[in-house]
Structure 1
Amino acid sequence: MSTATATATATATATAAVTATAAVTATFLSEVTAVVRTAGLILLDRFTPHARGVSLEEVVAEIHANDDAVLDVLREPLLQARPGSQWAEDELAGGALPAGEWWVVDPAEGNINHVHGMSDWAVTATLVRDNHPVLTVVHLPLTGDTYTAVAGGGAHLNGHPLKVSAKADLGAALIGTGQAKPGEDEATFRRIGDSVTAMLVNGLVVRVSVPATMQLIHVAAGRMDAFWQFSDVRSGLVAGALLVAEAGGTVTDLAGEAWSTASRDFLAAAPGLHQATLDILQPIA
């Protein structure tokens, strides 16, 4: 075999391997998407345009009922779709996971909005490998929109590529933050307040809302320019972190280091705004 023939054969073999890997990934992503969309139908069926529950106990009961109804549809199919993967049980937990692949799932991301008859809610499923998200699906049942991302494969909305904002002037930026979960400590609440004030002074408009994922999909799509949060709650960040990164954004902690589930806080921004945003938030963090 000539050198040219050997080179051509090796190239063809490598190309075939990449193509086969891409096909497997596409099939896996399709499987996960189908599972998440099926779960979304259940959550959609439970939705009402009015608030459900008056007392705290009643509201909490409605939230738990949503979770219980949807988790049954998500857990086993996702675990079967990825043999050897594990399930992160507590959706409000933060911090690093043990080594390996873990499903970080929120059966009703924005559950508090759902039970109050509001539209900002979704179903999310993210595969995290060694504390970094590698595949995610975010489905919005009310609109039928599905956001997907695979590490190294880009971010998409209904199959169309996403790209973050091209802005470089913080004074022209729409930026956002929010509360990660009920019962945060007072110091965190004060940091949130101080950071919102600082961004109101330096940005154009600041959006404060929940859940994080519903703001991060806007950052990934270039509709918003940055999002920060003083929290390590995994389920609210992993999906959006991968979507923004794969759409060309910069995702770090508030020390400017690369973000992972082990990070204590979070910033996702258009590249042209990341450093300016970080400069304002670092002293507060």
Structure 2
Amino acid sequence: MSAAIARRFEAARAVVADAARLAMSMRPPPGGPVGIQKSAQDWLTEADGAVEAFISQRMATLFPDDGFQGEEGGMTRKGGLLWVVDPIDGTSNYARGRNRWCVSLGLLEDNKPVAGIVAAPALNETYTALIGHGAHLNGTKMQASPVKDTRSAMLEMGWSNRVPKDVFMDRIGAFLDLGAMPRSGGSGALALTDVACGRLDGYLEIVINLWDVAGALPILAEAGARVSPFLEEGGLEGGASILAVAPHIAEAVATASKMKLLP
């Protein structure tokens, strides 16, 4: 790992910490959703734009030659090194004053994930990874789950209004046939980091975007989870499917999910 990437990683950790504090200061109180509903269960809050703008401006000042892509603003700068941000992942939770949401920032070098930071300030947790240096939760090294039997597994599946109901129900049914316990928490990035630290044994989402997963991909790789070829199967250009799963049950869950896995 080059010194340039390591320097960016350390700077990004500080930027995300500041962005997370900004998001906390803007979080609505518990109650009905606050924000604009873009489509079914898809929310936009004032914090989404404010946090993305904050991170974009800080990274432009620190690394003006780097590219930048955000959920709200799209690709605003291009470069061989690309920062990808989801300012509030889990906005439906955030909009109701719930705790399960995060600020996610990933760094890609030549379209390969090399560093990631996922901060969940309401949970007092920050996940980080620099390729070749391990994955950490609040500074403590972590690994994917050692579960070897799907009947002991806890699997999450994300919901999207872009996925037909019969497809969603088919995959959930396949998880139940494995004897697994299904979950759904409303934040793709945090579900992926839960796989990385072993709180979940697998996560599947049929359609998800780059900004939802960019921060978590290096964390999964360094934690030893198995992951589907999201970037190679269209994730750089638009929505694609992702599966992240504990290594010992990876093949069984991939078969049930009708997904391929990276070697």
The reply to whether TM is greater than 0.5 is yes
Q: Counterparts in 2 of 1:46-65, with a 5 A limit? A: 46-47=26-27, 48-53=29-34, 56=37, 63-65=44-46
Query: Scaled by the length of structure 1, what TM-score is found?
Result: 0.79
What is the aligned partner in structure 1 of residue 206 from structure 2?
230
What amino acid maps onto 2:235 in structure 1? T
Q: Determine the C-alpha separation between the residues in 1 that align with 2:209 and 2:255.
A: 23
Is 1:247 aligned with 2:223?
A: yes
User: 2:93 maps to what in 1?
Assistant: 113
Are 1:261 and 2:239 an aligned pair?
no
Deviation of 1:27 after TM superposition, in Å, equals: 3.7
2:80 corresponding residue in structure 1: 100
**Residue 169 (structure 2) aligns with:** 193
1:210 aligned partner: 186
Bigger radius of gyration among the two: 1
Q: What do the CA deviations read for 1:63-98 (whole angstroms, capped 9, x no partner)?
A: 2411122122110212333342112244598xxxx8
| Deviation for aligned residue 1:207 | 0.7
- CA change 1:168–1:194 in 2 (3 A) is same
Distance 1:146 1:185 in 2: 30
Greater strand content? 2
Q: Secondary structure at the match of 2:98?
A: coil
1:1-285 correspondence runs (5 A)? 21=2, 25-47=5-27, 48-53=29-34, 56=37, 63-90=44-71, 100-180=80-160, 183-186=161-164, 189-253=165-229, 261-262=235-236, 264-282=240-258
**Deviation digits for residues 198-248 of structure 1 (CA, Å, limit 9, x no counterpart):** 101213311123211111111111111111111241111222222111101
Following the alignment from structure 1 to structure 2, what is the Cα–Cα distance between the partners of residues 260 and 165? 28
Give unpaired runs (5+ residues) of structure 1. Answer: 1-17
Contact 1:38 1:73 in 2 (8 A): no
- Structure 1 residues 30 and 278: CA distance shift in structure 2, 3 A: same
Query: Following the alignment from structure 2 to structure 1, what is the Cα–Cα distance between the partners of residues 10 and 52?
Result: 19
SS of corresponding position for 1:142? helix
- AA of the residue aligned to 1:225: D
Structure 2 gaps, min length 5: none
Whole-angstrom CA distance in 1 between matches of 2:223 and 2:152:
20
Contact in 1 for aligned 2:44/2:91 (Cα 8 Å): yes
Note if contact 2:88-2:104 (Cα within 8 Å) is conserved in structure 1. yes
2:228 maps to amino acid: T
Residue 231 of structure 1 aligns to a residue whose secondary structure is strand
Q: What are the Cα deviations for residues 124-172 of structure 1, in whole angstroms up to 9, with x where unaligned?
A: 1111223222111111111332110112221111111110111111111
- Paired with 1:197 and 1:36, the residues of 2 have a C-alpha distance of 38
CA contact (8 A) 1:32 1:81 kept: no
Give the direction of change, closer, same or farther, for the CA distance of 1:185–1:219 in structure 2 (3 Å limit). closer
Identity of aligned residues (%): 26
Amino acid at match of 2:54: V
Residues 32-74 of structure 1, C-alpha deviation per residue, up to 9 Å, x if partnerless? 11111111111111122223449847x9997241112212211
**CA root-mean-square deviation:** 3.2
Distance 1:76 1:143 in 2: 26
> In structure 2, what is the Cα distance between the partners aligned to 1:241 and 1:278?
17
Determine if contact 2:154/2:201 at 8 Å carries over to the other structure. Answer: yes
Q: Which one-letter code corresponds to 1:233 in the other structure? A: N
Q: Which amino acid aligns with 1:251?
A: V
More helix by share: 1
Aligned residues: 255
Q: Aligned partners of 1:192, 1:67: CA distance in 2, in Å?
A: 28
